[in-house]
Amino acid sequence: MYSYALLEAGCYYLIQEEEDSLISLVKISVVSDHCVFMSRYTNEEELEWKRKSDPIHDIIELLSDDKVQDWQVAYNSTFFFKSEDDEYE
């Protein structure tokens, strides 16, 4: 069992909070003395605070910069569409 205390600011992680839960992508933005402020990415970005002592069942992966860029392209193309009238340069 892991905890949020192991996660570093500015990094993206794939985690599983409970054994049977879905995998979540999180980005740690701020680390304080007792908590972390993070973004959780689902259909939209969710912002939340977690105690450093809160359990994480598994830290599956720290995403590399290349993988973060690949994910951002896929995420943005899925959730932010241009209208047919928009022109591309």
Domain layout of the chain by residue ranges: 2-79
Digit-coded pLDDT (tens) for 47-68: 999 999 999 999 999 999 999 9
Digit-coded pLDDT (tens) for 3-62: 999 999 999 999 999 999 999 999 999 999 999 999 999 878 999 999 999 999 999 999
Give the global pTM: 0.83
| b/e 29-66 (16+ beta carbons within 10 angstroms → b) | eebeeebbebebbeeeeeeeebeeeeebeebeeebeee
Residue 89 has what pLDDT? 47
